[in-house]
């Protein structure tokens, strides 16, 4: 029952982050069309920040799912991440894990538990 409540909270947060990302992308497209030259998504700091927030949200979801797996099994070994688009478990050991997060053409890695998404492979 408590796991369902935590999952519901996590999904609510993810929905909020996703809608924020979409809003930022729409806002940034309005800004770029007002000038003489449109900025590419890779050059636009608002789009870069939105992509970063989306990757952090995916990493947070994955960490919660992996923590629940560890709580149930006592280890991360054998853990997988389901229903989180672009997230793959690269390594799962008894006390640590490494996930890959594919986000808008870029790839980030999260060494956990408690890690932050980074371009450095774990």
pLDDT at 121: 92
Sheet with 97-103, strands from edge to edge, namely: 87-92, 97-103, 106-112
Query: How confident is the model over 15-30, as pLDDT tens digits?
Result: 766 666 676 677 766 6
120: pLDDT strictly greater than 60: yes
pTM (2 decimals)?
0.62
Residues in the chain: 122
pLDDT at 78: 94
pLDDT at 76: 95
Contacts 24+ apart (CB under 8 A), 8-13: 10/60, 10/61, 10/64, 13/57, 13/60
């Amino acid at each position: 029952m408590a796991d369902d409540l935590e999952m519901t909270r996590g999904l609510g947060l993810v929905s909020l982050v996703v809608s924020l990302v979409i809003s930022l992308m729409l806002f940034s497209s309005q800004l770029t069309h007002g000038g003489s030259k449109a900025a590419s998504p890779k050059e636009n700091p608002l789009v870069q920040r939105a992509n970063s927030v989306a990757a952090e949200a995916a990493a947070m979801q994955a960490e919660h799912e992996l923590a629940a797996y560890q709580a149930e099994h006592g280890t991360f070994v054998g853990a997988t991440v389901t229903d989180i688009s672009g997230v793959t478990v690269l390594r799962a050991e008894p006390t640590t894990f490494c996930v890959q997060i594919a986000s808008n053409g870029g790839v980030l890695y999260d060494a956990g538990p408690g890690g932050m998404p980074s371009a450095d492979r774990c």
